[in-house]
Amino acid sequence: MRPTPAKRAAPEPATDASRPTLVVAGRSARLLAEAAVRDGYAVIALDCFGDRDTRRVARQWWPIGDAGGGAPLDAPRTLAALERAAREPGVIGWVAGSDFECEPDLLEQGAARLALIGTAPAAVRRVRDARRFFAFLATRGFAHPETRFDAPPAPQGWLRKHARGSGGWHIRCANDAPAADASRGMYYQREVAGTPMSALFIGNGRHARLVGCNELIVRPLGAHPHVFRGAISAGELPAAQHAALLGMLDALAGEFELRGLCSLDFIRTEDGRLCLLEINPRPSASMALYADLPLLRAHVESCREHTLVDLAPMPAGTVRGSEIVFARQAFELSAAQAQALAQRDDCHDLPAAGSRFAAGDPVCSVQADGPAAQAVRERLAEKRQALRARWALEA
């Protein structure tokens, strides 16, 4: 086995008033907050959870929505929080995280209140427009699933998706779903067999630089057939696929003016094709796999300076994985349970005592390392099972 890479120190709150302050916002801001503090920023965190590890590193935390139920971000609270943050000393701007790709109007309104460090709202609208996105892929000859904007006559083997959905929660089997309304961003895609993957990359509006490729953990949850559960760093693709991916990322970054950290979801098929699915034009959850790299500083510099930051390659070492653990049934987290989670160094997104969860709500995330992707999958499964054995958590 290769040597384990040296890990960067666990982030602590940036207390030096001379440090620039980043506002990080999303449904969950923990990952962004920790990355920003590691990279030398002070942080104001805006999210729906207020997890213990988020509050530990952030200078301040303000809520911008409800934690449960998959409700959208609360626009008035989000805009009020950004206005408040703009008056704070040392704030240089804000980074939009999870769910803002689904709310381009809110993203634009937020950018008018505080400088947005990331892909511009107009570009987010274009890249999340399924007609425009898949038309561009077709003109460039980039592989993608067969896509249509009216219901297929034989729905078996088709999925219904929403261009402004996230995490797979918007995906339904076409034969279980009502007819799509294309004017609302609905579309249909034929299912493609293969390994779900993502590419974490940095763009400067013209070109892109790959950070790393990841295998995605995707499984059904209730009526949802393809829910994102986590990711595992998968290393480099074979040379031909790697070269093809670099060309695709460069073309996509230029066409859609992608800036800062973004991710591309795709399927690696058994015959070696990279079948493109969608772009998330903001920092993604796969950042957790590259905590040894200064990703937030690279994000800020690529957006503000329009340059592509050279990131040193990840040190040779073990494969890393991170996975969300969901509630299997409704329950309330006791003080003892919250403390037990907080004492584990492999658990993150730590809920406070008294937090209530409905079936299907995210509870926390677990992390594991190993010599290969399969070993990491097995260790993550063991950690889920251990939590399930104690509490009513989904396995």
Interval 176-215: pLDDT, tens: 755 545 556 899 999 999 999 999 999 999 999 999 999 9
Q: How confident is the model at residue 316 (pLDDT cuts 50, 70, 90)?
A: low
Q: How confident is the model at residue 394 (pLDDT cuts 50, 70, 90)?
A: very low
Q: Are residues 195 and 46 in the same domain?
A: no
Last residue of a domain, one of 86, 117, 148: 117
Greatest Cα-to-Cα distance within the chain, rounded to the nearest angstrom: 62
Question: How many angstroms separate the Cα of 205 from the Cα of each of 92, 261, 286, 347, 387?
Answer: 20, 11, 21, 35, 43
Stretch 142-163: mean pLDDT = 93
Rounded Cα gap, residues 203 and 63, in angstroms? 29
Rounded Cα gap, residues 119 and 258, in angstroms? 5
Q: How confident is the model at residue 1 (pLDDT cuts 50, 70, 90)?
A: very low
Last residue of a domain, one of 117, 144, 174: 117
Q: Is 184 inside any structural domain?
A: yes
Query: In this predicted structure, which of 64-68, 125-129, 270-274 has the lowest mean pLDDT?
Result: 64-68
Q: Are residues 228 and 361 in the same domain?
A: no
Whichever domain contains 254, its CATH number is 3.30.470.20
Q: Are residues 171 and 293 in the same domain?
A: yes
Question: What's the confidence (pLDDT) of residue 183?
Answer: 52
Q: Is 310 inside any structural domain?
A: no
User: Any idea what DSSP says for residue 85?
Assistant: H
Q: Are residues 133 and 108 in the same domain?
A: no
Question: What's the confidence (pLDDT) of residue 314?
Answer: 67
Whole-number average pLDDT of the chain: 90
Question: What's the confidence (pLDDT) of residue 33?
Answer: 98
The larger pLDDT score, comparing residue 345 to residue 17, is at 345
Q: Are residues 292 and 323 in the same domain?
A: no
Q: Are residues 329 and 268 in the same domain?
A: no
Question: How many angstroms separate the Cα of 75 from the Cα of each of 39, 44, 63, 78, 361?
Answer: 29, 18, 11, 5, 21
Whichever domain contains 93, its CATH number is 3.40.50.20
Question: What's the confidence (pLDDT) of residue 321?
Answer: 97
Q: Are residues 136 and 280 in the same domain?
A: yes
Last residue of a domain, one of 98, 117, 136: 117
Stretch 318-342: mean pLDDT = 90
Pairing of strands 347-348, 362-370: antiparallel
User: Rounded to two decimals, what is the model's pTM?
Assistant: 0.92
pLDDT(395) > 90: no
Report how many domains make up the chain. Answer: 3
Q: Is 171 inside any structural domain?
A: yes
Domain that holds residue 51: 21-117
Question: How many angstroms separate the Cα of 129 from the Cα of each of 162, 238, 279?
Answer: 10, 31, 10
Q: How confident is the model at residue 280 (pLDDT cuts 50, 70, 90)?
A: very high
Q: Are residues 207 and 99 in the same domain?
A: no
Q: Is 352 inside any structural domain?
A: yes
- Coarse DSSP helix, strand, coil percentages of the chain, rounded to the nearest 5 percent: 30, 30, 40
Q: Is 13 inside any structural domain?
A: no
Q: Are residues 44 and 171 in the same domain?
A: no
Q: Are residues 237 and 179 in the same domain?
A: yes
Report residue 165: phi and psi, to 5°.
Answer: -90, 170
Model pLDDT for residues 243-278, shown as the tens digit of each residue? 999 999 999 999 999 999 999 999 999 999 999 999
Q: Are residues 324 and 365 in the same domain?
A: yes
Query: In this structure, which amino acid lies at residue 155?
Result: P
For 231, the 3-state DSSP assignment is: strand
Rounded Cα gap, residues 87 and 329, in angstroms? 42
Q: Is 133 inside any structural domain?
A: yes
Rounded Cα gap, residues 118 and 141, in angstroms? 28
